[in-house]
Amino acid sequence: MALRWYTTVIDCRDIHAQARWWAETLGWRLVVETDEVAVIRASMPEETVPTLEAWLRTGQGLAFVPVPEGKSVKNRLHLDLAPHTSQDRDAEIARLVERGATLADVGQPSDVTWTVLSDPEGNELCVLSARAR
């Protein structure tokens, strides 16, 4: 039996703003938006997925749920983003910062090949070196 990784859930104070920020960051679409959850996905099947094989190949999403408290400690889980080798990595980082991300220090050495940022609510993410796969 196989279960499908469906979504990663992110606690936040403003689920709508966070969902829009991440959707723009990833080039995804907002597919669900209520007072209890906002979900973004790269794609969403228009109809029911007919087979288990097709179901398992359907991409994951991010779900944003409201919590009353703000973030207070380093995340135990974070997303790694990577530009393609044809992209300007520094420009992509600058674009994220212009949109509300901030550079973050989580104790990483100065010679690492990734950059740690925090999203507008303080959740860490990394921008890795450019890659083709």
**Domain total in the chain:** 2
83 belongs to a structural domain: yes
Mapped onto helix, strand or coil, the DSSP state of residue 71 is: coil
74 belongs to a structural domain: no
DSSP letter for 111, please.
Answer: T
What's the pLDDT at 53? Answer: 80
What's the pLDDT at 11? Answer: 95
Mean pLDDT by 10 residues, the chain (133 residues): 85 97 96 96 76 80 94 90 95 97 95 96 96 90
Contacts of 45 (CB under 8 A, 6+ apart): 58
Residue 57 sits in the same domain as residue 107: no
Contacts of 20 (CB under 8 A, 6+ apart): 30
71 belongs to a structural domain: no
What's the pLDDT at 127? Answer: 97
Q: What is the CATH number of the domain that holds 28?
A: 3.30.720
What's the pLDDT at 1? Answer: 57
What's the pLDDT at 133? Answer: 87
Q: Which of 66, 98, 115 is the last residue of a domain?
A: 66
Q: What share of the chain is helix, strand, coil (3-state, %, to 5)?
A: 20, 25, 50
Nearest-angstrom CA–CA distance, 39 and 4 = 16
Domain membership of residue 111 as a residue range: 79-127
Give me 130's structure tokens. Answer: 């450019």
Nearest-angstrom CA–CA distance, 128 and 132 = 12
What's the pLDDT at 80? Answer: 97
Cα Rg of the chain, angstroms: 16
Residue 61 sits in the same domain as residue 104: no
pTM: 0.89
Element (H, E) at 39: strand 38-41
